[in-house]
Amino acid sequence: MLRRTKSYPSLGLEDRFIIFEVKVYRERRRVIEVTDIVKRYGSNTVLNHATFQINEGQLTTILGPSGCGKTTMLRCMNRLEKFDRGRLKIGGVEVLGTEDRRLTAAEEKELTRQLRSRVGIIFQNFNLFPHLTALDNCTESPMTVKGMQRAKAEEVARQYLQKVGLGGKEDHYPAQLSGGQQQRVAIARALAMEPEVILFDEPTSALDPQLIQSVARMLRALDDLGKTLVVVSHDMNFARRISDQVIYFEGGHAVESGTVEELFSNPQKPETRAFMQSFHDDEPAVIDEESATDKAESGKLETDLGTRGQLGQEE
Amino acid sequence: MTRRNHRISATLLLLLLSPISLVAQTALQRVRQTGELRVGTDATYPPFETAEGGQFTGFDIDLANAVARELGVRAAFTNSGFDGIFPALQNGTFDIVISAVTITPERSATMLFSDPYINAGQLIAIHKETGGIEKPEDLKGKHIGVQINTTAQFDFEKREGVEVTKYDSVALALTDLRNKRIDAVVSDAPVLRYMILQSFQDLKPVGRQFTDEKLGIVLARDSDELRRAVNAALWRVKDSGEYDRIHQKWFGEAAEQAAGSSATQPKAFDLSIVQRTWRFFLTGIWLTARLAFLSLLLGLPIGLLLALARVQSSRILSAPAAVYVEVIRGTPLLVQILFIYFVLPSFGIFIPAFWSGVLALTLNSAAYIAEIFRAGILSIDAGQMEAARALGMTHAQAMRRIILPQTFRRVVPPLTNEAIALLKDSSLVYVIGLSELTRTGQELASRYAAPLTIWPMVAIFYLLLTFPLTRIAEYLERRWRPITRS
């Protein structure tokens, strides 16, 4: 929990593409760099010179109102969408906009393969494979993509299902599981591919409100595994509770980015202030304490699904 | 007497086949050399020709046997639908066709005829309880029934004030006359007399035969030598008294009495006929089952490949697949069957009748199956493909491991539909001489003049054949139920 309690000095602007000041932690390398990304659907500009960085092992929330382009941004990071201009770096993989560089089919295939081997995604509706059991959902891609033997793949899958608290549900089909359980299968499925970065698209929107707390715990626990997590959400309460870093997104670009404290207590940009204001109107100050408690406890909290100890085994 | 003369075979196929000459040897030389006269006949026309369990009987059959004997050879009969009988003659499958064929100028233009061997004109039949009709002129203002594409139809459609309804067979027209939906039936005299004696005793023929229609043996255009030999043989059969004996047997007083005495009052569904005929259906059922099974087995993978080609983004694959589906679905299966069997030989491709049938049904069903699969693939949520791709699978892997397994589960009901439709559509192969279930029914219904017994039997046999299909579908749906439960 070191990174949340200590603060590090800003290193300032990195190069001329970086518009906003970003906190950089000395001991962590940047794992995701988004530089001046533009994406249009016809005349509709969805991403408008988006620029931000995400450090390794952090939990970053891209927060913003509906239609701000945050989900499109997330999908670009996994190559489910291509972008027109700009540069995306994830790990050692660099992707340029389609207008900047034209790739051959083979290059595109290789790039996509490399990117997806590093980046997993949990969809808003999970998109589990309904014809496969929970276990088979998790073994399918290690076997087909990595060529893993079934026995080995099942061993790995069982471990991850156990970690997300679904031990004993291996042979259930998605339709036989609750929404929260389905989400955890989706997480185990992504983890089984052992990505460095895991993207979450609106992890709370398909769930009952009472499950949100356990999702938060789950995310914190994943964070403790050392994974870099990027969460897209419009839910400020949730973002505040879970994040190391928050990026406020509006109009297709990152307006402002910083720690929870920086962004929620002292927003610099008028757009951010307006958004925070609407939040404060809706939900009074209680949240602050609650989220602080959550974060403080997440390290030692035993969730109903899996303990930190279980999740920490990998480290 | 003009038998059914299918529009498609008459126009399309004769046009396509006319420039072809396949025979180096003359037809007569070939017949002499092999000692076999290959005879095509549509054996659904008593008393001229009928078939029962592979045995041919009738006036034409006896006459063809007598002619073959005079030629010093043996007659080998092949049962063929009337639609396909002339193309088969043209492409050398038969040496002659004897099937109560009327000599007409149109036919004489494309084929050769022997000298006429019988004069069979038109006759009127009415219900015994009615009267006032004796000659064609009396039918003015009346409603009559005819067999489709016969000279009776052509004649009466030209006359003012006669309402003409066309039936697939004389037996069906007579059934409607019995039910008094129509006032009279006009058809070929010998057939009409035979039918009435066999099973329509509540009807009666009236007046005299009012047209002349000469029947001849048909030969291919290039077999003039064989025609002269057949004519000579015909005259010898007549001179020897053999012809009179055959005529007496089938059209004489004795034949009428025999038919009259053996016939009982017709029943709607006659169990004694069921008992006598069910065995003859077995070959037809087996043929239908094999045709449908093989075509489905081959059509499924082809249909799947077409569907996969169509959902590709690349036009190189999707456009040809779309054109294939469009063309096959947009053209009649009957034409496709005729094309494969009768037209391909002119390009040097000879496929036996059974496999021609399988090929046509396969190619046809593949187009429909392709659309079923395509709809199935498109119905799978786009998120499934995305999730699979996001996990690192290639498009092909995602298709094979994620999309198609779900598609198969969804398309079971429409595929069952298609399989059943295919099973029933397979009846169309009768045009290339395959006696499958429907054709067997047609032959037996004519042979026993008992359409009301035979056709329900045919229906029951089809039902029994579809039963295993629906069971398999039910089994698959039950097996996959937990997955679709929500």
Tell whether A161 lies on the interface with B, counting CB pairs under 8 A: no
Q: How far is B380 from chain A (nearest CA, A)?
A: 11
**Bridge partners of B77?**
B39
**Bridge partners of A94?**
A89
Which residue in A113, A127, A144 is closest to B401 by CB distance?
A144
The number of CA neighbours under 13 Å toward the Cβ of A159 is 16
Taking the CA atoms of residue A193, residue A198, residue A199 and residue A202 in that order, the dihedral angle to the nearest 10 degrees is: 100
- Among the listed residues B102, B160, B155, the one whose alpha carbon sits nearest the alpha carbon of residue B124: B155
Angle, CA of A3, A6 and A12, to the nearest 5°: 85
Residues of A in contact with B394 (CB under 8 A): 109
pLDDT score at B267? 59
Cβ within 8 Å, pair B483-A78: no
Cis peptide before B47 (omega within 30 of 0): yes
Q: Structure tokens of B484?
A: 């679709």
Q: How far is B372 from chain A (nearest CA, A)?
A: 20
**Bridge partners of B155?**
none
User: How far is it, in rounded angstroms, from Cα B219 to Cα B216?
Assistant: 10
Q: What is the pLDDT along chain B (486 residues), one digit of tens a residue?
A: 444 444 444 444 544 544 444 445 788 888 989 999 999 998 888 889 988 777 899 999 999 999 999 999 999 999 888 878 888 898 888 999 999 998 988 889 999 999 999 988 899 999 998 888 888 889 999 999 998 777 788 888 888 889 999 887 788 888 889 888 999 999 988 888 888 887 788 899 998 888 888 999 999 998 999 999 999 999 999 999 999 999 888 887 656 665 555 544 555 678 888 888 888 899 999 999 999 999 999 999 999 999 999 998 889 999 999 999 999 999 999 999 999 998 888 888 889 989 999 999 999 999 999 999 999 999 999 999 999 999 999 999 999 999 999 999 999 999 999 999 999 999 999 888 888 999 889 888 877 778 888 999 999 999 999 999 999 999 988 887 756 544
The number of CA neighbours under 13 Å toward the Cβ of B303 is 30
pLDDT score at B483? 60
Q: Check: CB of residue B119 under 8 Å from CB of residue B59.
A: no
Cβ within 8 Å, pair A175-B486: yes
User: How far is it, in rounded angstroms, from Cα B364 to Cα B295?
Assistant: 9
Neighbours of B445 (CB within 10 A): 23
The full length of chain B comes to 486
Q: How far is A113 from chain B (nearest CA, A)?
A: 6
Q: Structure tokens of B215?
A: 């029947």
With 0-12 / 13-18 / 19 or more C-beta atoms within 10 angstroms meaning exposed / middle / buried, residue B89 is buried
For residue B387, give the chain A residue with the closest CA.
Answer: A127
Residues of A in contact with B482 (CB under 8 A): 173, 175-176
pLDDT score at A16? 38
- Among the listed residues B86, B10, B84, the one whose alpha carbon sits nearest the alpha carbon of residue B428: B84
pLDDT score at A300? 35
* A239-290 pLDDT tens trace: 998 999 999 999 999 999 999 988 888 888 898 888 888 766 555 444 444 4
pLDDT score at A45? 93
Tell whether A118 lies on the interface with B, counting CB pairs under 8 A: no
Cβ within 8 Å, pair A120-B484: no
Strand segments, DSSP code E, in B128-281 are 143-147, 163-167, 184-188, 203-206, 214-215, 218-219
User: How far is it, in rounded angstroms, from Cα B244 to Cα A283?
Assistant: 111
Which residue in B390, B402, B482 is closest to A116 by CB distance?
B390
Cβ within 8 Å, pair A78-B390: yes
Which residue in A109, A141, A176 is closest to B391 by CB distance?
A141
Tokens 């046997």, located at residue: B65
Cβ within 8 Å, pair B386-A123: yes
pLDDT score at B408? 92
* pLDDT averaged over 10-residue windows placed end to end, chain A, 315 residues: 39 39 54 94 92 92 91 94 94 90 90 92 94 95 94 95 92 92 95 94 87 88 88 90 92 92 88 80 46 43 39 34
Q: Structure tokens of A53?
A: 């960085």
Q: How far is A112 from chain B (nearest CA, A)?
A: 8
| pTM exceeds 0.80 | no
Q: Which helix (H) or strand (E) holds B280?
A: helix B271-311
Which residue in B392, B397, B409 is closest to A116 by CB distance?
B392
Q: Structure tokens of B470?
A: 């629906």
Given the cut 0.85, state whether the ipTM is greater than it.
no
pLDDT score at B412? 92
- Among the listed residues B417, B383, B370, B407, the one whose alpha carbon sits nearest the alpha carbon of residue B483: B407
Residues of B in contact with A129 (CB under 8 A): 384, 387-388, 402, 406
The three-state secondary structure class of B271 is helix
Q: Which helix (H) or strand (E) holds B125?
A: strand B122-127
Q: Structure tokens of A23?
A: 């906190």
Residues of B in contact with A130 (CB under 8 A): 406, 483-484
Residues of B in contact with A113 (CB under 8 A): 392
Mutate to test the interface with A, among B391, B399, B410, B486 (most CBs of A within 10 A): B391
Q: Structure tokens of B418?
A: 């298609």
User: How far is it, in rounded angstroms, from Cα A139 to Cα B391?
Assistant: 11
